[in-house]
């Protein structure tokens, strides 16, 4: 089951976009609402797996005695879900949601402007505004919209994420005494929650739920991973849905477009995958070099962490398109090489995940270990090699897997740069995918590119990342 | 027999703690963890710091070792002010603090390597101390394979291999079951009384009065909130001591009444 | 073996038990002992069983007493203790089984799986694991056997076990 989640998580969301849009547009006879739904579905998919993983991880780490107590109290089915699973998942879900949102913003752009072959859709939103600004070379508009985006992110952080994170800490199992002050907004929300209106709302909701709580879900939620029957059920449903519409589209478009593909294009695919993989690897190494020391810096104090966290989210949300003018003028213009621009653009869509996870990893190093290293006089390179890097290894791997996932997604915007109606491309699978979408409108070829990308991702995951992950879980885990 | 501390010790001083204060600033208030702590440790002494949880004894130990700084006052080691980690000391942790991805051998080797001790000498010391703590045969084991007692033995080996003058221990037996801690205590004492330890003196922190009286020559009793030393007692029972002895119980009772 | 706890005790727990009994004069009432140690009876019984198995104590009528063999062990130095322990352990049926298996394999290492299978003839999977864990601990202390965690192999130790990098 994990394998399925894994595949779903790594397959590039963006690549599916043309296909999904086609489906919904056909369903709604070309109305704009079709595209809106497609956008929502795709942004959802980019976030849903991350959250699912968080819930899964949270369930796995519920302490034994808590599970026993819950069972002894006779809590089953939905009641157990609401009283145990939901609270247990809250800390991780909140933490990951922050970054999921940022990821959502990032792809918003690509989802708001869809040009598939002859069809052209523009959805109102920050994304298309930015795109238009970039197209027309209006830097001022581009900057304005970027500023608007960043403001929204910061406002969201202070109004929602910060108080939410503080509240989420309540649900942690570790008896960590938090010495931090609740943020001002937390008190604000508390006051709002206490108003007559909200208490009425809550009790109404509660009364609605009551009868549901006594229903037993079949099959019962069991704790032994990897069987999570409840989640399995929903996933199977989603899969069936995907399969269903996949077949529909397939039959409609595939046949005609299949005949139109040139063999020369198909041959280019493996080369393209290789080229893209190379770029991602380069971006990854660059990320590692700067995120490791930065994570140490940021994680070293609570104040620093709370200062930088919103900034990181803001940076992670800035869509690649916002960088296009900069890339074209200063990178391509100076070096004449689109490759470098592509690598930098890949960075914007991947490095933040690495940083985010590393910060978590650095924070998790037990104090005693750090003290032991200090007392033994372990410093410098020796400290990094023998203590620090192995200690953050698990987070490093998780972060790397997510970063690579983000990188594959970013290819689609990184290898196809438009500015002032001019096109700058770098040869790779992202390029091929965009070419198939914008220039050919050929569904079969799109699917072929997608399939090869997905296959590569799955292979890398299976033979490299899985192994690393197992190594991390086996050797580099801190005992309770 | 126990008696109040009089400076009847003619041996040189290893450690001098002079009027140490440690306060933390939280929001608008100051939390005083340690208040005006002063005492000396002489050569050839086994000293215990006893007190309830939260009395700051662990903080005091960390200041002595150099992991932390006093807010006021100073710590002198052999007459010189302690600045940063003191290489003449070594610390044994309550929760062992072993590196999970290193073997027993590598864990002990870590500190020796960091000191630049050459390979041959390292090997000699590691072999020697692993045998002394009873872990020969376990060189290639990983910490997670070991029982709590064995993990702490690695902790001891790691500390002793550095040949520290002052061995500091932070509740070293608290995380172990009563049988294992009994065993370890006796083994440590055997090494101490048999003069097989490279250390000159030992400073141990514990919350158990029985343990303190069992092990040490001198017991420093601390109160809590704020942490101060309220009594400095010599324990003059001959070793090996028996916790179930009448004499022993008498001293324990004496100490309990002193605290209350 | 039903109803009786597995003798799953660490060597140092056995030694600790003997030392405490010695302090108490060599004999003590078992529940009283557990209470004074603030140790769960459930946790104490395996240790008593182990000490019994090795011949270091006798447990009768709710009391436990050190044997002469036990005193010999206690009074010995580090090396003597290892030898006495080895001699006692070699006679313990499941330890003997492992040593026999090694002999049959002409001194070559045997896999953890094989031993577990042999144990599982009389015990459940969980119990077998626990017993093996105990056996390895005792064996390593007495220098009767060695264990490679990565390869999960049990072997006969050579003279000097050199550390790998």
Regarding whether C65 and C33 lie in a shared domain, the answer is: yes
The confidence band for B223, taking pLDDT boundaries of 50, 70 and 90, is confident
B100/A476 touch (CB, cutoff 8 Å), yes or no: yes
pTM over cut 0.80: no
Regarding whether C29 and C94 lie in a shared domain, the answer is: no
pLDDT at A310: 79
Chain B residue numbers touching C23 (CB-CB < 8 A) = 242-244
In this complex, the residue of C24, C78, C146 whose CB is nearest that of residue B134 is C78
Number of CB pairs, chain A paired with chain B, less than 8 A apart: 60
Regarding whether C62 and C86 lie in a shared domain, the answer is: no
- State the residue range of the domain holding C24: 11-74
Q: What is the pLDDT along chain C (165 residues), one digit of tens a residue?
A: 445 778 899 999 999 999 999 988 889 999 999 988 888 888 899 999 999 999 999 998 889 999 999 999 999 888 899 999 999 999 998 899 999 998 888 878 999 998 999 888 888 888 899 999 999 989 988 888 888 877 888 888 875 444 443
B31 touches chain C (CB under 8 A): no
pLDDT at A418: 73
Does C3 map to a domain? no
Does C35 map to a domain? yes
Domain boundary among C74, C90, C119: C74
B91/A372 touch (CB, cutoff 8 Å), yes or no: yes
pLDDT at C19: 92
CATH top-level class of A2-475 = mainly alpha
Q: Specify whether the backbone of C66 is left (phi greater than 0), alpha (psi in -120 to 50) or beta.
A: beta
Output the domain CATH number for residue C62.
1.10.10.10
C13/B177 touch (CB, cutoff 8 Å), yes or no: yes
Q: Within chain A, which residues score under 70 in pLDDT?
A: 1-32, 46, 49-50, 53-54, 56-57, 60-61, 77, 107-123, 134, 172-183, 209-232, 246, 249-261, 321, 420-421, 441-443, 479-480
C51 touches chain B (CB under 8 A): no
Domain count, chain C: 2
Regarding whether C83 and C148 lie in a shared domain, the answer is: yes
Q: In whole angstroms, how large is the CA radius of gyration of chain C? A: 17
Say if CB B55 and CB B227 are below 8 A apart.
yes
Domain boundary among C26, C52, C74: C74
C23 touches chain B (CB under 8 A): yes
Does C53 map to a domain? yes
Does B122 map to a domain? yes
Tell me: ipTM over 0.90: no
B243/C23 touch (CB, cutoff 8 Å), yes or no: yes
Find the largest Cα–Cα distance for chain B: 55
Does B5 map to a domain? no
Residue B226: is the preceding peptide bond cis (ω within 30°)? Answer: yes
d(CA C88, CA C83): 9
Does B168 map to a domain? no
> Average pLDDT in the B185-207 region?
93
pLDDT at A5: 62
Does B125 map to a domain? yes
Interface test with B, best of A369, A372, A474 (most B CBs within 10 A): A372
Chain B residue numbers touching A375 (CB-CB < 8 A) = 65-67, 85, 89-91
Say if CB C28 and CB C18 are below 8 A apart.
no
* Count of Cβ atoms closer than 10 Å to residue B120 Cβ: 8
Which residues, in sequence order, are CB contacts of B3 under 8 Å at separation 6+? Answer: B233, B234, B236
pLDDT at A29: 64
Task: Give the position of tokens 């086609």.
Answer: A22
Interface test with B, best of C7, C16, C56, C149 (most B CBs within 10 A): C16
pLDDT at A432: 84
Distances from the Cα of A476 to the Cαs of A393, B132, C129, in angstroms?
A: 7, 29, 23
Regarding whether C145 and C93 lie in a shared domain, the answer is: yes
B157 touches chain A (CB under 8 A): no
Say if CB B222 and CB B22 are below 8 A apart.
no
Chain C residue numbers touching B184 (CB-CB < 8 A) = 12
Regarding whether B134 and B60 lie in a shared domain, the answer is: no
Interface test with B, best of C17, C138, C163 (most B CBs within 10 A): C163
Output the domain CATH number for residue B120.
3.40.50.300
d(CA A297, CA A305): 9
Cα–chain center distance at A331: 27
Task: Tell me the pLDDT tens digit for each residue of B80-108.
Answer: 998 889 999 999 999 999 998 999 999 99
pLDDT at A118: 47
B91 touches chain A (CB under 8 A): yes
Domain count, chain B: 2
Strand partners of residue B231: B221
d(CA A415, CA A434): 9
B251 touches chain A (CB under 8 A): no
Residue of C nearest to B102 (CA): C165
Chain B residue numbers touching A390 (CB-CB < 8 A) = 99, 101
Domain boundary among C36, C57, C74: C74
Regarding whether C52 and C84 lie in a shared domain, the answer is: no
Regarding whether C66 and C87 lie in a shared domain, the answer is: no
Query: A-side interface with B, Cβ within 8 Å?
Result: 179, 181, 366, 368-369, 371-372, 374-379, 382, 386-387, 390, 475-479
- State the residue range of the domain holding B127: 89-163+177-199
Touching partners of B (3+ C-beta pairs < 8 Å): A, C
The confidence band for B63, taking pLDDT boundaries of 50, 70 and 90, is very high
Which residues, in sequence order, are CB contacts of B66 under 8 Å at separation 6+? Answer: A375, B82, B83, B84, B85, B86, B89
A375/B67 touch (CB, cutoff 8 Å), yes or no: yes
Task: Give the position of tokens 């405490």.
Answer: C20
Regarding whether C58 and C45 lie in a shared domain, the answer is: yes
Chain A residue numbers touching B90 (CB-CB < 8 A) = 375
């Amino acid at each position: 089951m994990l394998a399925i989640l894994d595949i779903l998580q790594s397959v590039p969301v963006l690549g599916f976009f043309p296909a999904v849009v086609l489906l919904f547009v056909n369903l709604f006879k070309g109305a704009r609402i079709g595209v809106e739904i497609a956008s929502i579905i795709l942004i959802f998919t980019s976030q849903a797996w991350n959250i699912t993983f968080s819930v899964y991880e949270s369930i796995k780490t519920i302490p034994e005695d808590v599970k026993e107590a819950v069972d002894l109290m006779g809590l089953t089915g939905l009641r157990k879900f609401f009283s145990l699973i939901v609270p247990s998942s809250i800390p991780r879900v909140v933490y990951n949601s922050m970054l999921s949102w940022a990821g959502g913003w990032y792809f918003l752009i690509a989802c708001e402007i869809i040009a598939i072959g002859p069809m052209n859709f523009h959805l109102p939103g920050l994304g298309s505004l930015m795109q238009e600004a970039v197209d027309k070379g209006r830097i001022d508009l581009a900057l304005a919209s970027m500023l608007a985006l960043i403001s929204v992110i910061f406002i969201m952080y202070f109004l929602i994420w910060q108080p939410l994170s503080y509240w989420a800490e309540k649900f942690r199992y570790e008896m960590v005494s938090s010495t931090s002050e609740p943020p001002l907004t937390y008190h604000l929300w508390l006051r709002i929650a206490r108003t007559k209106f909200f208490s009425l709302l809550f009790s109404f909701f509660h009364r609605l739920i009551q009868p549901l709580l006594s229903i037993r879900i079949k099959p019962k939620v069991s704790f032994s991973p990897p069987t999570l029957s409840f989640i399995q059920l929903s996933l199977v449903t989603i899969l069936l849905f995907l399969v269903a519409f996949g077949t529909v589209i397939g039959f409609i478009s595939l046949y005609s477009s299949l005949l139109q593909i040139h063999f020369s294009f198909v041959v280019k695919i493996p080369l393209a995958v290789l080229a893209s993989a190379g770029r991602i690897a380069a971006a990854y190494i660059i990320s590692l070099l700067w995120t490791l020391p930065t994570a140490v810096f940021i994680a070293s104090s609570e104040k620093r962490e709370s200062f930088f966290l919103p900034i990181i989210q803001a940076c992670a949300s800035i869509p690649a398109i916002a960088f296009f003018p900069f890339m074209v003028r200063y990178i391509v213009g100076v070096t004449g090489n689109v490759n470098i621009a592509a690598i930098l653009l890949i960075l914007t869509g991947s490095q933040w995940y690495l940083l985010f996870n590393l910060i978590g990893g650095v924070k998790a190093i037990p104090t005693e270990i750090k003290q032991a290293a200090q007392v033994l006089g372990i410093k410098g390179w020796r400290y990094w090699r023998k203590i620090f890097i192995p200690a953050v290894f698990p987070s490093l791997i998780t972060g790397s897997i997510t970063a690579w996932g983000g990188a594959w997604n970013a290819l689609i915007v990184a290898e196809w740069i438009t500015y002032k109606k001019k096109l700058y491309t770098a040869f790779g699978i992202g390029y091929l995918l965009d070419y198939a979408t914008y220039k050919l409108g050929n569904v079969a070829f799109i699917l072929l590119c997608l399939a090869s990308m997905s296959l590569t991702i799955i292979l890398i995951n299976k033979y490299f990342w899985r192994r690393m992950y197992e190594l991390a879980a086996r050797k580099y885990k801190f005992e309770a | 027999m126990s008696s109040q501390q009089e400076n009847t010790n003619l041996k040189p001083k290893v450690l001098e703690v002079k009027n140490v204060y440690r306060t933390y600033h939280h929001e608008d208030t100051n939390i005083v963890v340690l208040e005006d702590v002063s005492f000396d440790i002489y050569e050839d002494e086994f000293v215990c710091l006893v007190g309830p949880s939260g009395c700051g004894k662990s903080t005091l130990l960390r200041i002595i070792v150099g992991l932390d700084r006093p807010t006021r006052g100073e710590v002198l080691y052999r007459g010189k002010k302690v600045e940063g980690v003191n290489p003449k000391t070594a610390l044994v942790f309550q929760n062992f603090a072993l590196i999970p991805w290193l073997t027993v051998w590598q864990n002990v080797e870590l500190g020796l390597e960091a000191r630049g001790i050459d390979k041959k000498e390292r090997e000699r010391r590691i072999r020697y101390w692993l045998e002394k703590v009873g872990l020969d045969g376990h060189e290639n084991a990983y910490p997670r394979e070991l029982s709590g007692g064995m993990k702490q033995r690695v902790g001891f080996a790691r500390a002793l291999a550095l040949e520290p003058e002052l061995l500091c221990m932070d509740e070293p037996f608290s995380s172990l079951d009563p049988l294992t801690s009994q065993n370890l205590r006796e083994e440590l004492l055997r090494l101490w009384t048999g003069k097989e330890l490279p250390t000159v003196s030992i400073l141990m922190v514990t919350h158990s009065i029985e343990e303190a009286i069992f092990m040490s020559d001198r017991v420093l009793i601390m109160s809590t909130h704020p942490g101060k030393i309220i009594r400095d007692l010599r324990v003059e029972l001959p070793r090996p001591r028996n916790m179930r002895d009448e004499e022993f119980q008498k001293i324990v009772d004496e100490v309990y009444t002193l605290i209350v | 073996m039903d109803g009786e706890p597995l003798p799953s005790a660490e060597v140092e727990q056995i030694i600790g038990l003997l030392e405490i009994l010695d302090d108490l004069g060599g004999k003590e009432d078992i529940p009283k002992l557990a209470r004074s140690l603030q140790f769960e009876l459930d946790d104490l019984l395996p240790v008593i069983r182990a000490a019994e198995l090795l011949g270091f104590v006798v447990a009768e009528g709710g009391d436990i007493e050190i044997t002469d063999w036990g005193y010999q062990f206690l009074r010995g130095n580090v090396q003597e203790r290892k030898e006495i322990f080895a001699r006692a352990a070699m006679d313990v049926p499941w330890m003997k089984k492992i040593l026999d298996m090694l002999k049959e394999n002409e001194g070559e290492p045997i896999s953890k799986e094989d031993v577990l299978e042999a144990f599982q003839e009389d015990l459940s999977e969980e119990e077998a694991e626990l017993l093996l864990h105990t056996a390895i601990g005792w064996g390593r202390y007495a220098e009767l056997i060695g264990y490679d965690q990565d390869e999960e192999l049990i072997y006969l130790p050579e003279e000097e076990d050199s550390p790998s990098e």
